[in-house]
Amino acid sequence: MNSLFALLLLPLGLLAPAGPGKPAAGPPMGAVGPILVDAAEVMEGVQRFYQTTADFKASFKQTYLFKAYGRTQVSSGRVFFKKPGKMRWDYTAPVPKLFVSDGQMLWVYEPQESQAFRRSLRSSQLPVALTFMSGQGRLADEFVPKLLTPPSPQVYLLELVPKKSAGDYQSLQLEIDRTTFAVVASTVVDPVGNTNRVEFDPKTFETNKGLPDKGFDFAPPAGVRVLEDKTTGFTP
């Protein structure tokens, strides 16, 4: 991938990994809460949770299903978010990779390739499918919500269809804890039916821990090739 934003979208499943992949079932999170039947109300609950959460961290598992081949590719690691606009995705398997932003600069570091991508970042350049987790962006402005049959009684399953064409994906499905409205898992469906799923481990999901700002800083190690991405604007 030669675009930094193509690399950025991988963690939330907005682009496929570079290789052939069936989504695994997401673990339930929290207790069963009152059942809401209005999709817009559930979407607003998700928005409210992330707007009122200062930071969160969790282990994650990413499973990509290549529909044409019926094969999967699985990745895993740790993720950290902190307001305003800070995020860090530490991939540990199958190969180490780092996505990190301090809210101003975005870095993608590939240690096995001894290279790093960077670009100046404006929140308006990122898709709402990503920025809402940092308390930015309005889901209701960008998506039409629909409640689907959930995989377990502990979660809502909310499908979000973009109001405007989004060339790299046709819909986003969120599994949402019925008590907290935190996202347990996200699944992106692309135009040809491939699915890219990210699950957050409920045993490691923690909020408002006062994550230090230094965890979102990055300086490339000596000898690492740094590639600049100078494109402006963004279309998912």
DSSP per-residue string spanning 189-229: E-TTS-EEEEEE-TTT-EE-----GGGG---PPTT-EEEE-
- Report if residue 221 sits inside a domain: no
The answer to whether 145 touches 160, Cβ cutoff 8 Å, is yes
- So what's the pLDDT on residue 20? 43
Local confidence pLDDT in tens for the 236 residues of the chain: 333 334 344 444 444 444 443 333 333 333 344 444 699 999 999 989 988 899 999 999 999 888 888 889 899 999 999 988 888 999 999 999 999 989 888 898 999 999 999 888 764 455 555 566 666 668 888 889 999 999 999 999 999 988 887 666 778 899 999 999 999 998 888 888 888 889 999 999 999 999 999 999 999 999 999 998 654 332 22
Whole-model pTM: value is 0.77
Q: Quote the CA–CA distance of 45 and 224 in Å, as a whole number.
A: 43
CATH code where residue 203 lies: 2.50.20.10
Give the total number of structural domains in the chain.
Answer: 1
Question: 101 is written with which tokens?
Answer: 């932003």
Query: Which pLDDT score, from 0 to 100, does residue 180 have?
Result: 93
In a domain, 225, yes or no: no
Does residue 229 fall inside a structural domain? no
In a domain, 124, yes or no: yes
3-state secondary structure of 88: strand
Which domain does 164 fall in, by range? 4-214
